[in-house]
Chains A and B, each alone.
Chain A
Amino acid sequence: MTARDFVSSDKFNELVRSRWTFSFIMLAILFVMYYGYIFLVALNREFLAKMVGNNITMGTVLFVLVIIGAWLLTVVYVLWANASYDKKVEALKKDLQ
């Protein structure tokens, strides 16, 4: 099997597709999180000023959530890549030999 046939095989294409599908889903979540936050800052200040605790505003809570959320996305990506992507890569590498 030539390199060309290999990369046009269904198995390989499935790998590429799953990689980018997952990446773009994660990117979309990141966008919703970050721009959701930024647009709230720009457009809905009353919501951010809401007190959710003693001196803790909704804005402060969201600040923490966006940072932790962004970090969690990287963790989820690595867990996915280790569990799913790497296994497919190993299988494909065996086929290549």
Chain B
Amino acid sequence: MESTLGKPNLTAILFFVLVVIGTMVITYFAARKTKTTSEFYAAGRSVTGFQNGLALAGDYMSAASFLGISGMVALKGYDGMIYAVGWLVGWPALMFLIAEPLRNLGKYTFADVVASRLRQGPIRIASAVGGILVVLCYTIAQMVGSGKLIQLMFGMPYEMAEIIVGVVMLLYVLFGGMLATTWVQIIKACLLLFGVTVLTLLALNKFGFSISNMLGQVQAMYPDANMLNPGGLIKNPLDALSLGLALMFGLLGLPHILMRFFTVPDAKEARKSVVYATSFIGYFYLVIPVVGFTAAVLIGKDAILGIDKGGNMAAPALAELLGGTPFLGFIAAVAFATILAVVAGLTLAASSAMSHDIYVSVFKKGTATEAEQVKVARISVIIFGIFAVGLGILFKGQNVAFLVGLAFAIAASANFPALFLSIVWKKFTTQGAVWSILAGALSATVLIIISPTVWVDVLHHEKAIFPLKNPAVVSMTLSFAVAFIASIMTPDKKAQDQYEEDKIRVYLGVGAE
């Protein structure tokens, strides 16, 4: 059968147009309910735990995890599964350490929590820098990846793909704010889960619904590749520990994920939303290997590599084989919707850091009117949107895979320590927070540049200066150490008193926004 992958595909375009029209209708209704800052950033705190769970899953299950992990399993087998597990384990940690206190203490951004009892100015700037750095790295990776994927699936020029993603996502965020973005995430999560489920069932059908039969055929087809056992992904324990820390605690410092917790009415709904999110994401990672292994058997590794060297087209190619052109069209449209939704969430997070943390809290010292705040929020959405498209085009053809690792490393080393310590440590001070954020962000960035991930894979040097692929074990430790030393050196009696008083809000939810 002649593949229609990479050619303009009528059903793909039809499904894509349907998704865009559907989400635009939602945006239209959401726009009428988006007038105040709380509505713009936090959907008026009207989202239920179940809805937020779906939206969180939507934010987290990017095109990279759907196409990337299924491709990795298809090409490398078990290593892709190890990777998938790493992406899930942050969720329980998020629940145990952060979710409820974050909801009770914050308003729109995680910086609200860090700044709640410390000096506003320096904390806001430092957290906004940490937050924007993470979002920027993540966005560049998403934009470059999405341009390539759309090119591969629809045969559309890269630049045009970037601009379409930018414009559609701007319409959601600009007019519909958090409410529209949340619904876009919910729709996308449902479509993705539905698409993956159908694909998995079609795949298992080929093996008489027997996993053992499927794995047996993988083994028979690639007897030398050792597909069913760990390969080269994790070799030494320290590397494993460091990557694990980055993935686990990075989640607890991702601004676009943290921001979702302000959309639910209270801490109880916040914790419920983590269970739902973990259920959807866990299910997703549990079945994705089936898609990968089936693609390896039915499409073949060489054919997958022939379409895209990264293996990203394993799932779409399998969809075409099993469900024909219409199903490929559906999966391609779902992947596109996934990209749109993730970038929309990131843009909203960046906008909140720029306008709420920097403009309103630092420049205006919290005196801006509602109308002014919403206006500034929208302006920063446009600025960030233009940046995202511009950077996407600028980085065309670059190897940006390391940026996701960097985003998680900075999130784990800069944002997470400050956020966590401000919740649990009475003696935490302004100096401690500012210096730990800076130390974490700087060390994570420098170390990843001289690590094998960038120094060898991107810059093509012989040998890396820093031995670990991900720096989290060093940069996180450094960040906590700096927080501790700087806080001990600058005791702050007022902040300690405030910490005691805030406890009513943190643990009982009394006085929470």
Contact = CB atoms under 8 A, between A and B. Distances in A.
Nearest to B100: A81
Contact of B282 (A57, A70, A77, A96): A70
A55 B244 contact: no
A48 B271 contact: no
B216 interface: yes
B89 A34 contact: yes
Interface in B84-104: 84-86, 88-89, 91-93, 95-97, 100
B85, B219, B504, B509 interface centre (most CB from chain A within 10 Å):
B85
Contacts, number: 147
Contact of B272 (A53, A78, A93): A78
A67 B237 CA distance: 20
B275 interface: yes
A1 B500 CA distance: 14
Contact of A38 (B211, B216, B234, B272): B234
Contacts of A15: 507
B96 A53 contact: no
Contacts of A7: 500-501, 503-504
B92 A43 contact: no
A17 B239 CA distance: 34
Contact of A56 (B211, B278, B501): B211
Given A7-B500, A78-B271, A41 B230 contact: yes
Given A26-B96, A38-B241, A96 B504 contact: yes
Interface in B225-275: 228-230, 233-237, 239-241, 244, 248, 268, 271-272, 274-275
Contact of A74 (B268, B275, B497): B275
Interface residues of A, number: 52
Given A38-B244, A60-B228, A73 B92 contact: yes
Nearest to A6: B504
Given A4-B501, A16-B507, A30-B89, A60 B240 contact: no
B286 interface: yes
B275 A78 contact: yes
Nearest to B92: A73
B435 interface: no
Contact of B500 (A8, A37, A86): A8
A87 interface: no
Contacts of B93: 27, 30
Interface in A43-69: 43, 45, 48-49, 53-57, 59-60, 63-64, 66-68
B interface: dominant SS: helix
Contacts of A71: 92, 278-279, 282
B78 interface: yes
Interface in A1-50: 3-4, 6-8, 12, 15-16, 19-20, 23-24, 26-27, 30, 34-35, 37-39, 41-43, 45, 48-49
A59 B78 contact: yes
Interface in B267-300: 268, 271-272, 274-275, 278-279, 282, 285-286, 289
A55 B228 contact: yes
Interface of A: 3-4, 6-8, 12, 15-16, 19-20, 23-24, 26-27, 30, 34-35, 37-39, 41-43, 45, 48-49, 53-57, 59-60, 63-64, 66-68, 70-71, 73-75, 77-78, 81-82, 86, 89, 92-93, 96
6 contacts: A15-B507, A30-B96, A56-B215, A57-B228, A59-B228, A81-B271
Given A60-B78, A92-B508, 16 more contacts: A7-B500, A12-B503, A16-B503, A26-B96, A30-B89, A39-B237, A43-B237, A45-B230, A48-B230, A55-B219, A56-B211, A67-B286, A68-B286, A74-B274, A77-B271, A96-B508
